[in-house]
Copies of this chain bind each other. A is one copy, B any other.
Amino acid sequence: MRQLKSSRQPKVSKHPPGGFCPRFHRAVELIGRRWTGAIVRVLMGGPQRFNELLNTVPGLSDRLLSERLRELEGEGLVRREVDPGPPVCVSYHLTQSGSSLEPVIASLGSWAERWMRA
């Protein structure tokens, strides 16, 4: 039984629930990497500095924060901004694509409140 391939392939809807969607997959694997969701959620509150993020997310190490921030920058969700004071001050803030994750974060938040055991 080779998956009933002929009866699928609707062509009317690009991504029926119940199928595999590459973009969705890449998105969930990106924000699902360890700590990334928490970091993005914190950045929703406005620009944050490295150590602010570090102190806000319990258990997160500086090494991983650095790595995750660079990944998010690479994907265009976060921008790193250096304000040459002095003192120099580095802040991270969401780009437009990052900010537009807000409804996603919010609905997952509601789900978590309703269904996750504390």
Copies of this chain assembled into the complex: 2
Q: Which of B15, B42, B76 contacts A18 (CB 8 A)?
A: B42
Question: What's the Cα separation between A16 and B37 when bound, in Å?
Answer: 15
Which has the most chain B C-beta neighbours within 10 Å: A55, A101, A108, A113? A108
Q: Is the CB of A111 within 8 A of B27?
A: yes
A100 within 8 A of B: yes
Which A residues form the contact surface with B (CB < 8 A)? Answer: 3, 15-29, 31-34, 36-38, 41-46, 52, 55-58, 76, 97, 100-109, 111-116, 118
Name 5 interchain pairs, CB-CB below 8 A, sorted by A.
A17-B41, A23-B112, A27-B109, A100-B114, A100-B115
